[in-house]
């Protein structure tokens, strides 16, 4: 798998469904410049782990927005499939109530550019990319099809990224907002372990 961390995120321009019911012909990564972006891939609409993740992101959407983060979901389904799934109630396995953009990557070009297609090229793995305000990938993780993500961990990583950008210090293992950080030096490491 290709590592994109530290590189410009691949640009895309694709159709999407926004606000749970509106088709747009052009969802472009560039349009979100100046904001952080969480771009996550999921295998397919109308599957099993996927709706749990999509709802989990929706449930925390206000927290993401307070941190100046846009959430974008993407799969190899058509925009029509996205809309049908968005019109299916949660208790029937649907994602009714999801409002962030769901991008249609029916030609699989976005998944290919982000190197998250399965070996047989049929669907995208559960890739997640944290992109900074300048369009640079700062974090990526790819899960196999059966392994759902932890949305709280994504929020923690955003806090860590924003903290390091603001204060120039680094975040040690298991760091959470408000925890002790350290200066990125040998002296900073010694000070961290001294306390």
Q: Which residues belong to the active site? A: 50
Q: Which residue has the tokens 């449930």?
A: 59
Rounded alpha-carbon distances, angstroms, from residue 86 to 92, 126, 129: 11, 19, 23
Quick one: CA dihedral 52, 36, 33, 112, positive or negative?
negative
**Looking at beta carbons, which pairs linking 77-81 to residues 24 or more positions away fall under 8 Å?**
77/44, 77/45, 77/104, 77/106, 78/104, 78/106, 79/15, 79/16, 79/17, 79/23, 79/104, 81/45, 81/46
Burial of 50 (0-12, 13-18, 19+ CB in 10 A): buried
Q: How far apart are CA 141 and CA 127, in angstroms?
A: 6
> Phi/psi at 106 (nearest 5 deg)?
-60, -30
Q: Are 122 and 105 in contact (CB under 8 A)?
A: no
């Amino acid at each position: 798998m290709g590592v994109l961390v530290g590189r410009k995120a691949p640009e895309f321009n694709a159709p999407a469904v926004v606000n749970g019911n509106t088709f747009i012909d052009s969802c472009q990564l560039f349009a979100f410049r100046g904001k952080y972006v969480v771009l996550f891939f999921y295998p397919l609409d109308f599957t099993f782990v996927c709706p749990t993740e999509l709802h989990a992101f929706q449930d925390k959407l206000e927290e993401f927005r307070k941190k100046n983060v846009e959430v974008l979901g993407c799969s190899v389904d058509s925009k029509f499939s996205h809309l049908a799934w968005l019109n299916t109630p949660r208790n029937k396995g649907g994602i009714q109530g999801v409002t962030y953009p769901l991008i249609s990557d029916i030609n699989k070009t976005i998944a290919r550019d982000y190197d998250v297609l399965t070996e047989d090229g049929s669907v995208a793995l559960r890739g997640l990319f944290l992109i900074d305000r300048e369009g640079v990938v700062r974090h990526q993780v790819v899960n196999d099809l059966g392994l759902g993500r932890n949305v709280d961990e994504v929020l923690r990583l955003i806090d860590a990224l924003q903290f390091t950008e603001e204060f120039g210090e680094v975040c040690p293992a298991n760091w959470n907002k408000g925890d002790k950080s350290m200066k990125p030096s040998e002296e900073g490491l010694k000070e961290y372990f001294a306390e």
